[in-house]
């Protein structure tokens, strides 16, 4: 089975975009729950000294969205390219 690099990259970027939006909205609406979830993802490490910025603004969210989506597109493209290269062997 061959992966089309652009299709794989698009699917990866779209998936990350949806996850980013859900995460950003969740953090804005439920910051305490977001910290509890983050702590659980870091295996219980005490992250209580970290706080959510009270200055979260639309520009920081847009920048995060663009970099997360763009980076994941590149990751998807590289994944498909490497997959196709290794599948030939």
Q: What is the average pLDDT across 17-35?
A: 91
pLDDT of 46 above 70 = yes
Q: Please, what is the average pLDDT of the chain?
A: 90
Using alpha carbons only, what angle is made at residue 29 by residues 21 and 51, rounded to the nearest 5 degrees?
A: 95
Q: What is the Cα gyration radius of the chain?
A: 17
CA torsion through residues 40, 42, 48, 50, sign: negative
Q: What is the average pLDDT across 51-71?
A: 85
Q: What is the average pLDDT across 39-66?
A: 80
Residue 40's domain comprises 5-87
How far is 44 from 37, CA to CA, in rounded Å?
Answer: 10
Domain count, the chain: 1
């Amino acid at each position: 089975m061959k992966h089309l690099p652009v299709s794989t990259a698009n699917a990866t970027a779209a998936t990350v975009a949806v996850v980013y939006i859900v995460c950003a909205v969740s953090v804005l609406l439920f910051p305490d729950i977001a910290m509890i979830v983050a702590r659980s993802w870091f295996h219980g490490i005490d992250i209580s000294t970290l706080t959510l910025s009270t200055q979260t603004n639309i520009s920081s969210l847009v920048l995060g969205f663009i970099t997360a989506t763009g980076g994941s597109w590149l990751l998807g493209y590289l994944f498909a390219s490497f997959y196709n290269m290794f599948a030939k062997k």
